[in-house]
Amino acid sequence: MPSEVARVASPAADIAKHPPNLRTLFFAFAKMSLSGFGGVLVFARRAIVDEHRWMTAEEFNATFALCHFLPGPNIVNFSVVFGARLRGVPGALAAFAGLLGPPVLLITSLGAIYGHFGQADTWRRGLAGVSCVAVGLLASVVFRMISPLLKKSDLAGLVVVAGVFVAIGLARLPLQEVLLVAVPLSLAVTYAKTRWAR
């Protein structure tokens, strides 16, 4: 058991002592963005948690949760926060440039091609198929992000997750109103659990 704890804790400790250089950050985020059909989140989590072990699953979830409360796209916010955490402002710029630079060039080129051939039935059917893949990728990353709560048997956390899903996904309540209730509630639940654990 102690060796397992050390193995889980070591990536965060190692990354603080030996953070990746700016070039590594840029190319890691460039690879994520170019792989990210249907959304980069799936590939960002896989690269950061599973491949490079720059964060634990819990750290990734906490950082990504923080990025939900900042204005702008969540994964872009995440790249800036993550890069800044490892290498300061240059790291934030490297991760940001890697995340957005290659896709901007690619999309600009594809947009020009779509402008000429976008009305063809083959293109439309292909895009419909890509949307199905995107939903599957998103579902898989949601399951992987929720797995730390399942492993810890965090019933209160799972109830909050289910409540937010029902409120936004099924009841179609406005996101801002749901967050105004869910955020204080989740903070109160976490605070109560830490007090109870003592």
Quote the pLDDT of residue 2.
41
List, in order, residues 6 or more apart from 110 with CB less than 8 Å away: none
Quote the pLDDT of residue 146.
79
Question: For residue 82, what are the CA distances in angstroms to 13, 112, 116, 138?
Answer: 15, 33, 39, 21
**Under 8 Å between Cβ of 29 and 91:** no
Quote the pLDDT of residue 88.
93
Query: Would you give per-residue pLDDT tens digits along the chain (198 residues)?
Result: 444 444 444 455 566 677 899 999 999 999 998 887 667 888 899 999 999 999 998 899 889 988 887 888 889 999 999 999 999 999 999 999 999 999 899 888 877 877 777 666 776 777 677 777 777 777 777 777 777 777 777 788 788 888 988 998 889 899 888 888 888 888 888 788 777 766
d(CA 190, CA 198): 13
**Under 8 Å between Cβ of 89 and 80:** no
Domain ranges of the chain: 2-152, 154-198
d(CA 94, CA 37): 21
Quote the pLDDT of residue 8.
44
Question: For residue 79, what are the CA distances in angstroms to 45, 48, 62, 124, 197?
Answer: 11, 11, 14, 32, 33
Quote the pLDDT of residue 77.
93
d(CA 85, CA 27): 17
Quote the pLDDT of residue 38.
60
